[in-house]
A and B are shown apart, each in its own frame.
Chain A
Amino acid sequence: MSGLLAPADWAAIGLTLRLAMATTVLLLLVALPLAWWLAGSASRWRAPVAALVTLPLVLPPTVLGFYLLVLMGPDGPLGRLTQSLGWGLLSFTFTGLLIGSVVYSLPFAVQPLRDAFEAAGKRPLEVAQTLGATPLQAFVSVVLPLARPGLLTAAVLTFAHTIGEFGVVLMIGGSIPGRTQVVSTQIYGHVEGMDYAAAHTLAVMLLVFSFAVLLALSLLGRRRMRVLP
């Protein structure tokens, strides 16, 4: 296998996996409270926030990437902040990619979690509280386990979606080998360089991976439906 792929390809694969894993972990931490709030809040901010969270689903990734780039750039608010903190600029770095990926995959994590929380309702939380659990204890011991299918779907979708992202990555990260070059941008580079064979190898890997993920999700969903008589 290693003969089939160039070292730069392997580096791109490694970086992609690292990015997808970091995005998944970070995004779940962000999406859990956000989805919980969206599922239960009566606030008038709920609808605008829900729309905002869903925006990355319909916006061209280049638009999203463009604004993030401006935001992180030397004159953007985020760029100024990171510079004043002595962190330098986030654009064209792994951290920048990570932030972009989290924003880009937000709806893929929030929606399944929100559905799961809404399906479970407020009742389990109330029951747990009458049994002596604080709201946080009740959330961890009852709400999260009940929302486990949604949690799993959110994690898998985020991971897969991040692996397949292209536009945002290209805008924020460029395609710097070893630093911001992921599989999708590497494929683009191969095609631009007329190296179709190398592009094929990586493209087939992505194709098989994505299919396997969706198949696993669908099988998982079927098993959940089969309740004991």
Chain B
Amino acid sequence: MTGDLLSVSLRLSHGPAFALEADFQLPASGISVLFGASGSGKTTLLRAIAGLEPSAAGRVALGPRVWQDDAAGVRVPAWRRRIGYVFQEASLFEHLDVAGNIAYGLRWQRDDGAADSRDESRVGVDALVGLLGIGGLLRRRVDTLSGGERQRVAIARAMATRPALLLLDEPLSALDFARRDEIMDWLLKLRDGTGTPMLYVTHSLEELARLADRALVLSSGRAAACDAPEAALRQAGLGVVADRLDRLRQI
């Protein structure tokens, strides 16, 4: 595991109705869950970390890599941040088959010296396909896949470029319960099999309970706490939710 920190200090507002303020540091390892109610700004924050929100101002860094530092005039565009991003809907490219989707990012990989020795230990595409159980789907058209299959392909596509950080935005919200359970299993396997740190956005307690190595609670546009999940919820003043999480964990 790496000792890197993901440090974020961002301000962003969309008119008077919505303002986001986030200052936190997270160890870049395992699965960090970004938890909060709908409309709390989770997706916006994730997009800002990815470099998809031009109006977000502040600083974002992963270990020694500074992705954004407006005070120093640094802004690395999304396509050079070495991130993987899994959107809420799988958003597969309909004009490519499954293999084409997974390989899509590989053609743009730059050998800019940023690849460090750590990356060598991460798994290649073949292992990824095995880890996510999509070996049998490679020649399929993406519009013939089920919802769960689509999301697994989207995860494989995001992971194929060996990102330094995988961002996931409520990847299970479009799926039924059985599929959600299954994908969570795949995600845990992926975490243990690749060592890629993940930042996972959700408003589901169940996903928080199953996946979180740590939690960051976002309420009304502010990053409230960052600690072990129950403690994070209590610090954010969500004691009731923490109790429910506790009960959920015991089941």
Which residues of A are interface residues toward B (Cβ below 8 A)?
123-124, 126-135, 137-138, 141-142, 145-146, 148, 227-229
Contact A132 B95 (CB under 8 A): no
Contact partner of B79 among A130, A146, A227, CB < 8 A?
Answer: A130
Contact B110 A127 (CB under 8 A): no
A10 to chain B, nearest CB (A): 41
Within 8 Å of chain A (Cβ to Cβ): is B48?
Answer: no
Contact A123 B91 (CB under 8 A): yes
Among B71-116, those with CB < 8 Å from A are: 77-80, 83-85, 87, 89, 91, 93-95, 104-105, 108-110
Closest 4 pairs between A and B when the two form their complex, measured CB to CB: A131-B105, A132-B108, A130-B85, A145-B95
B89: which A residues are within 8 A, CB to CB?
A: 123
A72 to chain B, nearest CB (A): 41
Contact A133 B108 (CB under 8 A): yes
B94: which A residues are within 8 A, CB to CB?
A: 146
Complex: A128 Cα to B144 Cα, angstroms = 21
B202: which A residues are within 8 A, CB to CB?
A: none
Residue of B79, B89, B158 with most partner-chain A CB within 10 A: B79
A168 to chain B, nearest CB (A): 36
Apart from A131-B157, A132-B79, A134-B108, what 17 extra A-B contacts exist at CB < 8 Å?
Answer: A123-B89, A123-B91, A124-B91, A127-B91, A129-B78, A129-B79, A130-B50, A130-B84, A130-B158, A131-B104, A132-B108, A133-B105, A134-B77, A141-B104, A142-B95, A146-B94, A146-B95
Q: Which residue of B lies closest to A228 (CB)?
A: B144
Within 8 Å of chain A (Cβ to Cβ): is B141?
Answer: yes
Complex: A126 Cα to B47 Cα, angstroms = 10
Complex: A137 Cα to B80 Cα, angstroms = 13
Q: Which residue of A lies closest to B160 (CB)?
A: A131
* Contact mask for chain B residues 121-151; partner A; CB cutoff 8 A; 1 contact, 0 none: 0000000000000000000010110000000
Contact A132 B93 (CB under 8 A): no
A140 to chain B, nearest CB (A): 12
A123: which B residues are within 8 A, CB to CB?
A: 87, 89, 91
Complex: A138 Cα to B94 Cα, angstroms = 14
A134: which B residues are within 8 A, CB to CB?
A: 77, 79, 108
Complex: A229 Cα to B143 Cα, angstroms = 9
Within 8 Å of chain A (Cβ to Cβ): is B161?
Answer: yes
B93: which A residues are within 8 A, CB to CB?
A: 124, 127-128, 142, 145-146
B143: which A residues are within 8 A, CB to CB?
A: 227-228
Residue of A129, A130, A135 with most partner-chain B CB within 10 A: A130
Q: Which residue of A lies closest to B167 (CB)?
A: A130
B95: which A residues are within 8 A, CB to CB?
A: 142, 145-146, 148
Complex: A98 Cα to B97 Cα, angstroms = 40
Q: Which residue of B lies closest to A135 (CB)?
A: B79
Contact partner of B52 among A124, A126, A137, CB < 8 A?
Answer: A126
Complex: A133 Cα to B85 Cα, angstroms = 13
Whether A130 contacts B78 in the complex (CB less than 8 A), given A228-B143, A228-B144, comes out as yes
Complex: A126 Cα to B83 Cα, angstroms = 12
Whether A132 contacts B85 in the complex (CB less than 8 A), given A142-B93, A146-B93, A146-B95, comes out as no
A142 to chain B, nearest CB (A): 6
A30 to chain B, nearest CB (A): 24
Complex: A127 Cα to B50 Cα, angstroms = 11
Complex: A127 Cα to B143 Cα, angstroms = 17
B141: which A residues are within 8 A, CB to CB?
A: 228
Complex: A228 Cα to B140 Cα, angstroms = 11
Complex: A72 Cα to B84 Cα, angstroms = 53
B229 to chain A, nearest CB (A): 27
